[in-house]
Structure 1
Amino acid sequence: MDVVLIRHPAVNVDAGICYGNSDVPLAAGPETSAEALAVRLATLQVPAPRVVLTSPLTRCATVAGALANNFGCTASSDDSLKEMDFGTWELQRWDDIDRALIDAWAADFEGARVHGGESVAQFVARVRTWFDVFEQTRELSPAYVVTHAGVMRVIAALTLGLTVDVCLQWALEAGAVVWLRRNDTTMKWAIVRWNA
Protein backbone atom coordinates (compact mmCIF):
# COMPACT_ATOMS: atom_id res chain seq x y z
CA MET A 1 0.00 0.00 0.00
CA ASP A 2 1.35 3.41 -0.99
CA VAL A 3 0.28 6.76 0.41
CA VAL A 4 1.89 9.93 -0.87
CA LEU A 5 1.48 12.88 1.47
CA ILE A 6 1.84 16.27 -0.18
CA ARG A 7 2.15 19.46 1.83
CA HIS A 8 0.32 22.38 0.28
CA PRO A 9 2.55 24.81 -1.67
CA ALA A 10 3.64 28.19 -0.28
CA VAL A 11 0.89 30.48 0.95
CA ASN A 12 0.33 34.20 0.61
CA VAL A 13 0.82 34.93 4.32
CA ASP A 14 3.58 36.94 5.98
CA ALA A 15 6.33 34.90 7.62
CA GLY A 16 5.84 34.39 11.34
CA ILE A 17 2.02 34.19 11.23
CA CYS A 18 0.16 31.28 12.88
CA TYR A 19 -2.31 30.05 10.26
CA GLY A 20 -3.04 26.43 11.22
CA ASN A 21 -6.77 25.90 10.61
CA SER A 22 -7.33 29.28 8.92
CA ASP A 23 -8.22 29.27 5.23
CA VAL A 24 -5.41 31.26 3.61
CA PRO A 25 -4.63 31.63 -0.11
CA LEU A 26 -1.79 30.10 -2.07
CA ALA A 27 1.09 32.30 -3.22
CA ALA A 28 0.78 30.90 -6.78
CA GLY A 29 -2.15 29.52 -8.73
CA PRO A 30 -3.26 25.95 -8.00
CA GLU A 31 -2.79 24.79 -11.60
CA THR A 32 0.80 26.06 -11.66
CA SER A 33 1.46 24.42 -8.30
CA ALA A 34 -0.12 21.14 -9.41
CA GLU A 35 1.92 21.07 -12.63
CA ALA A 36 5.15 21.58 -10.68
CA LEU A 37 4.14 18.84 -8.24
CA ALA A 38 3.28 16.45 -11.08
CA VAL A 39 6.74 16.96 -12.59
CA ARG A 40 8.40 16.36 -9.21
CA LEU A 41 6.29 13.25 -8.56
CA ALA A 42 7.24 11.85 -11.98
CA THR A 43 10.93 12.56 -11.30
CA LEU A 44 10.62 10.70 -7.98
CA GLN A 45 8.91 7.81 -9.85
CA VAL A 46 5.89 8.01 -7.58
CA PRO A 47 3.05 5.84 -8.92
CA ALA A 48 0.01 7.69 -10.29
CA PRO A 49 -2.86 7.94 -7.80
CA ARG A 50 -6.15 6.12 -7.88
CA VAL A 51 -7.58 8.94 -5.76
CA VAL A 52 -6.50 12.32 -4.40
CA LEU A 53 -7.65 13.00 -0.85
CA THR A 54 -7.43 16.47 0.61
CA SER A 55 -7.99 18.92 3.40
CA PRO A 56 -10.92 21.17 2.44
CA LEU A 57 -8.86 24.30 3.09
CA THR A 58 -8.25 26.27 -0.12
CA ARG A 59 -4.47 25.91 -0.05
CA CYS A 60 -4.90 22.13 -0.31
CA ALA A 61 -8.23 21.53 -2.03
CA THR A 62 -7.49 23.68 -5.09
CA VAL A 63 -4.16 21.94 -5.69
CA ALA A 64 -5.74 18.52 -5.07
CA GLY A 65 -8.44 19.26 -7.62
CA ALA A 66 -5.88 20.28 -10.22
CA LEU A 67 -3.74 17.18 -9.48
CA ALA A 68 -6.78 14.92 -9.78
CA ASN A 69 -7.57 16.49 -13.16
CA ASN A 70 -3.96 15.91 -14.28
CA PHE A 71 -4.15 12.23 -13.31
CA GLY A 72 -7.74 11.61 -14.42
CA CYS A 73 -9.01 10.60 -11.00
CA THR A 74 -11.26 12.09 -8.35
CA ALA A 75 -10.47 14.42 -5.47
CA SER A 76 -12.28 14.01 -2.16
CA SER A 77 -12.00 16.32 0.84
CA ASP A 78 -12.23 15.44 4.51
CA ASP A 79 -12.28 17.81 7.51
CA SER A 80 -10.07 15.35 9.39
CA LEU A 81 -7.19 16.36 7.10
CA LYS A 82 -7.24 20.02 8.21
CA GLU A 83 -4.28 21.46 10.09
CA MET A 84 -4.49 21.80 13.87
CA ASP A 85 -6.85 24.50 15.17
CA PHE A 86 -4.81 27.05 17.12
CA GLY A 87 -7.90 28.89 18.40
CA THR A 88 -7.23 32.52 19.33
CA TRP A 89 -3.68 32.27 17.99
CA GLU A 90 -4.93 31.85 14.42
CA LEU A 91 -3.65 34.62 12.10
CA GLN A 92 -1.63 36.19 14.94
CA ARG A 93 2.09 36.81 14.74
CA TRP A 94 3.89 34.17 16.80
CA ASP A 95 6.01 37.00 18.26
CA ASP A 96 2.84 38.78 19.46
CA ILE A 97 1.49 35.79 21.39
CA ASP A 98 2.09 36.02 25.14
CA ARG A 99 5.29 34.07 25.83
CA ALA A 100 3.80 32.67 29.06
CA LEU A 101 1.00 31.05 27.02
CA ILE A 102 3.47 29.49 24.61
CA ASP A 103 5.52 28.22 27.56
CA ALA A 104 2.37 26.74 29.15
CA TRP A 105 1.58 24.98 25.87
CA ALA A 106 5.14 23.62 25.65
CA ALA A 107 5.00 22.43 29.27
CA ASP A 108 1.96 20.25 28.49
CA PHE A 109 2.52 19.67 24.79
CA GLU A 110 -0.03 16.88 24.41
CA GLY A 111 -2.86 18.24 26.55
CA ALA A 112 -2.66 22.04 26.69
CA ARG A 113 -5.34 24.14 25.00
CA VAL A 114 -4.25 27.59 26.17
CA HIS A 115 -5.26 29.01 22.78
CA GLY A 116 -8.77 27.57 22.99
CA GLY A 117 -8.36 25.42 19.87
CA GLU A 118 -7.36 21.77 19.70
CA SER A 119 -4.85 20.16 22.00
CA VAL A 120 -2.17 18.11 20.29
CA ALA A 121 -3.83 15.00 21.73
CA GLN A 122 -7.18 15.98 20.17
CA PHE A 123 -5.49 16.72 16.85
CA VAL A 124 -3.64 13.38 16.87
CA ALA A 125 -6.88 11.54 17.73
CA ARG A 126 -8.68 13.24 14.82
CA VAL A 127 -5.97 12.28 12.33
CA ARG A 128 -5.64 8.76 13.81
CA THR A 129 -9.38 8.14 13.36
CA TRP A 130 -9.12 9.16 9.71
CA PHE A 131 -5.97 7.11 9.12
CA ASP A 132 -7.36 3.97 10.76
CA VAL A 133 -10.23 3.99 8.24
CA PHE A 134 -7.97 4.90 5.33
CA GLU A 135 -5.52 2.10 6.12
CA GLN A 136 -8.28 -0.51 5.82
CA THR A 137 -9.17 0.63 2.29
CA ARG A 138 -6.55 -1.02 0.09
CA GLU A 139 -8.34 -0.12 -3.13
CA LEU A 140 -7.37 3.52 -2.55
CA SER A 141 -3.69 2.69 -3.02
CA PRO A 142 -1.81 4.48 -4.35
CA ALA A 143 -3.42 7.57 -2.86
CA TYR A 144 -2.19 11.14 -2.82
CA VAL A 145 -3.15 13.13 0.28
CA VAL A 146 -2.80 16.90 -0.08
CA THR A 147 -2.69 18.25 3.44
CA HIS A 148 -0.65 20.16 6.03
CA ALA A 149 2.67 19.67 7.80
CA GLY A 150 1.03 18.79 11.11
CA VAL A 151 -1.18 16.10 9.58
CA MET A 152 1.80 14.68 7.68
CA ARG A 153 3.88 14.46 10.85
CA VAL A 154 1.06 12.74 12.76
CA ILE A 155 0.62 10.17 9.97
CA ALA A 156 4.38 9.57 9.92
CA ALA A 157 4.40 9.10 13.70
CA LEU A 158 1.46 6.67 13.52
CA THR A 159 2.91 4.57 10.71
CA LEU A 160 6.46 4.47 12.04
CA GLY A 161 5.62 3.96 15.72
CA LEU A 162 7.15 7.28 16.78
CA THR A 163 5.93 10.13 18.93
CA VAL A 164 4.73 13.31 17.24
CA ASP A 165 7.40 15.41 18.95
CA VAL A 166 10.08 13.33 17.20
CA CYS A 167 8.49 13.96 13.80
CA LEU A 168 8.23 17.69 14.58
CA GLN A 169 12.01 17.80 14.28
CA TRP A 170 11.93 16.65 10.63
CA ALA A 171 11.85 19.39 7.99
CA LEU A 172 8.79 19.67 5.76
CA GLU A 173 8.96 22.45 3.21
CA ALA A 174 5.97 23.93 1.41
CA GLY A 175 5.08 21.53 -1.41
CA ALA A 176 7.05 18.69 0.23
CA VAL A 177 6.36 15.09 -0.80
CA VAL A 178 6.40 12.27 1.76
CA TRP A 179 5.96 8.80 0.27
CA LEU A 180 5.09 6.02 2.72
CA ARG A 181 4.75 2.35 1.79
CA ARG A 182 3.22 -0.49 3.77
CA ASN A 183 4.33 -4.07 3.22
CA ASP A 184 0.94 -5.78 3.13
CA THR A 185 2.43 -9.06 4.32
CA THR A 186 4.20 -7.74 7.42
CA MET A 187 1.90 -4.69 7.77
CA LYS A 188 5.00 -2.59 8.47
CA TRP A 189 5.32 0.93 7.09
CA ALA A 190 8.51 2.50 5.75
CA ILE A 191 9.52 5.88 4.37
CA VAL A 192 10.31 5.82 0.66
CA ARG A 193 10.83 9.62 0.44
CA TRP A 194 10.80 12.40 3.04
CA ASN A 195 10.62 16.12 2.23
CA ALA A 196 11.32 15.34 -1.43
Structure 2
Amino acid sequence: MEVYLIRHTTPKIEKGVCYGFSDLEVTDSYQEELTILSEKLLQRLQKQYLKNKDKSKQEIEIYTSPLQRCSVLAKDLNVFIQNNFKSKVKENDKLKEMNFGDWELKKWNEINEEELKVWTDNFVTEFAPNGESFEILNERVIDFWQKNIKSQKGKIAFIVCHAGVIRSILCYALEIPLQRAFSVSIDYGSISKLKVFETHTQVEFLNG
Protein backbone atom coordinates (compact mmCIF):
# COMPACT_ATOMS: atom_id res chain seq x y z
CA MET A 1 0.00 0.00 0.00
CA GLU A 2 1.14 3.54 -0.71
CA VAL A 3 0.38 6.15 1.92
CA TYR A 4 0.70 9.92 1.52
CA LEU A 5 0.96 11.73 4.86
CA ILE A 6 -0.25 15.29 4.33
CA ARG A 7 0.07 17.93 7.01
CA HIS A 8 -2.56 20.66 7.08
CA THR A 9 -1.75 24.15 5.79
CA THR A 10 -1.01 27.13 8.04
CA PRO A 11 -3.70 27.52 10.73
CA LYS A 12 -5.21 30.85 11.71
CA ILE A 13 -3.52 31.50 15.04
CA GLU A 14 -0.93 33.81 16.50
CA LYS A 15 2.62 32.48 16.71
CA GLY A 16 3.75 31.26 20.10
CA VAL A 17 0.35 29.86 21.09
CA CYS A 18 -0.13 26.26 22.24
CA TYR A 19 -2.71 24.40 20.18
CA GLY A 20 -3.59 20.80 19.45
CA PHE A 21 -7.21 19.66 19.87
CA SER A 22 -8.48 23.21 19.24
CA ASP A 23 -10.49 23.47 16.01
CA LEU A 24 -8.64 26.28 14.24
CA GLU A 25 -9.64 27.80 10.92
CA VAL A 26 -7.30 27.96 7.94
CA THR A 27 -5.44 31.23 7.48
CA ASP A 28 -5.79 33.84 4.72
CA SER A 29 -3.06 32.22 2.63
CA TYR A 30 -5.00 28.96 2.41
CA GLN A 31 -5.96 29.13 -1.27
CA GLU A 32 -2.37 29.81 -2.30
CA GLU A 33 -1.07 26.99 -0.12
CA LEU A 34 -3.79 24.66 -1.43
CA THR A 35 -2.81 25.36 -5.04
CA ILE A 36 0.86 24.64 -4.38
CA LEU A 37 0.09 21.46 -2.44
CA SER A 38 -2.47 20.19 -4.96
CA GLU A 39 -0.12 20.66 -7.89
CA LYS A 40 2.76 18.91 -6.10
CA LEU A 41 0.50 16.02 -5.19
CA LEU A 42 -0.99 15.60 -8.65
CA GLN A 43 2.44 15.80 -10.24
CA ARG A 44 3.63 12.89 -8.10
CA LEU A 45 0.48 10.87 -8.77
CA GLN A 46 0.65 11.47 -12.53
CA LYS A 47 4.12 9.95 -12.81
CA GLN A 48 2.95 6.65 -11.41
CA TYR A 49 -0.77 6.26 -11.98
CA LEU A 50 -1.83 8.25 -15.02
CA LYS A 51 0.43 6.80 -17.70
CA ASN A 52 -2.28 4.51 -19.03
CA LYS A 53 -5.34 6.61 -19.85
CA ASP A 54 -7.39 3.56 -20.87
CA LYS A 55 -7.46 1.81 -17.54
CA SER A 56 -10.17 2.48 -14.98
CA LYS A 57 -9.58 5.15 -12.37
CA GLN A 58 -7.36 4.23 -9.43
CA GLU A 59 -9.16 4.43 -6.08
CA ILE A 60 -7.79 6.59 -3.27
CA GLU A 61 -9.02 6.57 0.31
CA ILE A 62 -8.70 9.99 1.94
CA TYR A 63 -8.61 9.80 5.73
CA THR A 64 -8.68 13.04 7.70
CA SER A 65 -8.73 14.49 11.16
CA PRO A 66 -12.16 16.07 11.71
CA LEU A 67 -10.54 19.35 12.83
CA GLN A 68 -11.32 21.84 10.09
CA ARG A 69 -7.71 22.78 9.27
CA CYS A 70 -7.48 19.19 8.02
CA SER A 71 -11.02 18.35 6.91
CA VAL A 72 -11.31 21.47 4.72
CA LEU A 73 -8.05 20.53 3.00
CA ALA A 74 -9.09 16.88 2.59
CA LYS A 75 -12.35 17.86 0.92
CA ASP A 76 -10.61 20.29 -1.42
CA LEU A 77 -7.99 17.70 -2.39
CA ASN A 78 -10.80 15.23 -3.04
CA VAL A 79 -12.39 17.64 -5.51
CA PHE A 80 -9.03 18.39 -7.11
CA ILE A 81 -8.17 14.76 -7.95
CA GLN A 82 -11.60 13.45 -8.92
CA ASN A 83 -11.10 13.98 -12.66
CA ASN A 84 -8.36 11.37 -12.54
CA PHE A 85 -9.11 9.20 -9.49
CA LYS A 86 -12.00 7.66 -7.60
CA SER A 87 -11.83 9.04 -4.08
CA LYS A 88 -13.82 9.66 -0.94
CA VAL A 89 -13.15 11.40 2.38
CA LYS A 90 -13.43 9.64 5.73
CA GLU A 91 -13.09 11.59 8.98
CA ASN A 92 -11.56 9.81 11.96
CA ASP A 93 -11.30 11.21 15.50
CA LYS A 94 -8.14 9.19 16.14
CA LEU A 95 -6.27 11.45 13.71
CA LYS A 96 -6.72 14.57 15.85
CA GLU A 97 -3.65 16.40 17.14
CA MET A 98 -2.51 15.97 20.74
CA ASN A 99 -4.88 17.32 23.39
CA PHE A 100 -3.05 19.94 25.45
CA GLY A 101 -5.94 20.26 27.89
CA ASP A 102 -5.78 23.41 30.01
CA TRP A 103 -2.90 24.74 27.92
CA GLU A 104 -4.94 24.92 24.72
CA LEU A 105 -4.81 28.42 23.17
CA LYS A 106 -2.50 29.77 25.86
CA LYS A 107 0.79 31.37 24.92
CA TRP A 108 3.68 29.04 25.67
CA ASN A 109 5.42 31.75 27.72
CA GLU A 110 2.33 32.13 29.92
CA ILE A 111 2.14 28.45 30.91
CA ASN A 112 3.37 27.57 34.42
CA GLU A 113 7.12 27.04 34.05
CA GLU A 114 7.33 24.07 36.41
CA GLU A 115 4.45 22.25 34.73
CA LEU A 116 5.91 22.96 31.30
CA LYS A 117 9.36 21.67 32.32
CA VAL A 118 7.89 18.42 33.65
CA TRP A 119 6.19 17.92 30.28
CA THR A 120 9.13 18.91 28.07
CA ASP A 121 11.50 16.66 30.05
CA ASN A 122 9.33 13.62 29.36
CA PHE A 123 6.62 14.46 26.83
CA VAL A 124 6.10 10.79 25.96
CA THR A 125 4.40 9.90 29.25
CA GLU A 126 3.67 13.31 30.84
CA PHE A 127 0.68 15.42 29.84
CA ALA A 128 -0.77 18.88 30.27
CA PRO A 129 -3.50 19.22 32.94
CA ASN A 130 -6.66 17.59 31.51
CA GLY A 131 -4.76 16.74 28.34
CA GLU A 132 -2.99 13.68 26.95
CA SER A 133 0.58 12.48 26.57
CA PHE A 134 2.30 11.68 23.29
CA GLU A 135 2.07 8.02 24.32
CA ILE A 136 -1.74 8.27 24.45
CA LEU A 137 -1.84 10.03 21.08
CA ASN A 138 0.38 7.29 19.69
CA GLU A 139 -1.95 4.55 20.94
CA ARG A 140 -4.99 5.97 19.14
CA VAL A 141 -3.03 6.74 15.95
CA ILE A 142 -1.59 3.22 15.76
CA ASP A 143 -5.04 1.76 16.40
CA PHE A 144 -6.27 3.74 13.37
CA TRP A 145 -3.28 2.56 11.32
CA GLN A 146 -3.75 -1.12 12.10
CA LYS A 147 -7.49 -1.06 11.37
CA ASN A 148 -7.43 1.07 8.22
CA ILE A 149 -4.00 0.97 6.60
CA LYS A 150 -1.98 -2.11 7.45
CA SER A 151 -4.59 -4.51 6.09
CA GLN A 152 -5.19 -2.69 2.80
CA LYS A 153 -2.91 -4.23 0.17
CA GLY A 154 -2.28 -2.64 -3.21
CA LYS A 155 -4.19 0.56 -2.48
CA ILE A 156 -3.47 4.27 -2.11
CA ALA A 157 -4.35 6.37 0.90
CA PHE A 158 -4.02 10.02 1.83
CA ILE A 159 -3.89 10.80 5.55
CA VAL A 160 -4.56 14.50 6.06
CA CYS A 161 -3.58 15.26 9.61
CA HIS A 162 -1.23 16.98 12.05
CA ALA A 163 2.50 17.00 12.75
CA GLY A 164 2.11 14.98 15.95
CA VAL A 165 0.10 12.30 14.14
CA ILE A 166 2.62 12.11 11.30
CA ARG A 167 5.50 11.77 13.76
CA SER A 168 3.63 9.00 15.56
CA ILE A 169 3.13 7.09 12.29
CA LEU A 170 6.79 7.50 11.34
CA CYS A 171 7.96 6.23 14.72
CA TYR A 172 5.71 3.20 14.43
CA ALA A 173 6.54 2.45 10.81
CA LEU A 174 10.31 2.78 11.28
CA GLU A 175 10.43 1.37 14.81
CA ILE A 176 11.86 4.61 16.21
CA PRO A 177 11.50 5.34 19.95
CA LEU A 178 8.81 7.92 20.68
CA GLN A 179 11.41 9.98 22.52
CA ARG A 180 12.94 10.78 19.12
CA ALA A 181 9.68 11.77 17.45
CA PHE A 182 10.55 15.47 17.34
CA SER A 183 13.82 14.79 15.53
CA VAL A 184 11.77 15.03 12.34
CA SER A 185 10.51 18.42 11.13
CA ILE A 186 7.10 18.31 9.42
CA ASP A 187 6.22 21.46 7.45
CA TYR A 188 2.77 22.96 6.93
CA GLY A 189 1.28 21.73 3.67
CA SER A 190 3.97 19.08 3.24
CA ILE A 191 3.67 15.61 1.74
CA SER A 192 5.53 12.53 2.95
CA LYS A 193 5.15 9.12 1.34
CA LEU A 194 5.35 5.63 2.80
CA LYS A 195 5.27 2.26 1.06
CA VAL A 196 3.71 -0.37 3.31
CA PHE A 197 4.74 -3.98 2.70
CA GLU A 198 3.78 -7.13 4.61
CA THR A 199 7.12 -7.27 6.40
CA HIS A 200 8.17 -3.63 6.66
CA THR A 201 7.42 -0.01 5.79
CA GLN A 202 9.67 2.16 3.62
CA VAL A 203 9.85 5.96 3.59
CA GLU A 204 10.02 7.15 -0.01
CA PHE A 205 10.32 10.85 0.85
CA LEU A 206 9.63 13.38 3.64
CA ASN A 207 8.41 16.98 3.44
CA GLY A 208 7.94 16.83 -0.31
TM above 0.5, yes or no, is yes
One-letter amino acid of the structure 1 residue matched with residue 91 of structure 2 = S
**Equivalent position SS for 2:14:** coil
> Shift of the alpha carbon at 1:166?
1.6
Aligned match for 1:52, one of 34, 59, 62? 62
Say which is worse superposed, 51-60 or 166-175, in terms of deviation. 166-175
Alpha-carbon separation, structure 2, partners of 1:63 and 1:88? 27
One-letter amino acid of the structure 2 residue matched with residue 69 of structure 1 = V
Give the conservation status (yes or no) of the 8 Å contact 1:51–1:68.
Answer: no
> Shift of the alpha carbon at 1:121?
1.5
> Shift of the alpha carbon at 1:164?
2.3
1:111 aligned to 2:125?
A: yes
Alpha-carbon separation, structure 2, partners of 1:57 and 1:107? 28
Alpha-carbon separation, structure 2, partners of 1:64 and 1:105? 32
Alpha-carbon separation, structure 1, partners of 2:73 and 2:29? 8
- Counting matched residue pairs gives 194
Instruction: Name the counterpart of 1:76.
Output: 90
Instruction: Name the counterpart of 1:120.
Output: 134
Alpha-carbon separation, structure 1, partners of 2:126 and 2:116? 10
Give the conservation status (yes or no) of the 8 Å contact 2:10–2:30.
Answer: no
Instruction: Name the counterpart of 1:190.
Output: 202
Give the conservation status (yes or no) of the 8 Å contact 1:31–1:66.
Answer: no
Q: How does 1:139-178 map to 2 (within 5 A)?
A: 141-178=155-192
Taking only aligned residues, the RMSD between alpha carbons, in angstroms, comes to: 2.0
Larger radius of gyration: 2
> Shift of the alpha carbon at 1:139?
5.5
Instruction: Name the counterpart of 1:131.
Output: 145
One-letter amino acid of the structure 2 residue matched with residue 57 of structure 1 = L
Alpha-carbon separation, structure 2, partners of 1:140 and 1:97? 46
Give the conservation status (yes or no) of the 8 Å contact 1:30–1:66.
Answer: no
Q: TM-score, normalised by structure 1?
A: 0.90
**Equivalent position SS for 1:179:** strand
Q: TM-score, normalised by structure 2?
A: 0.86
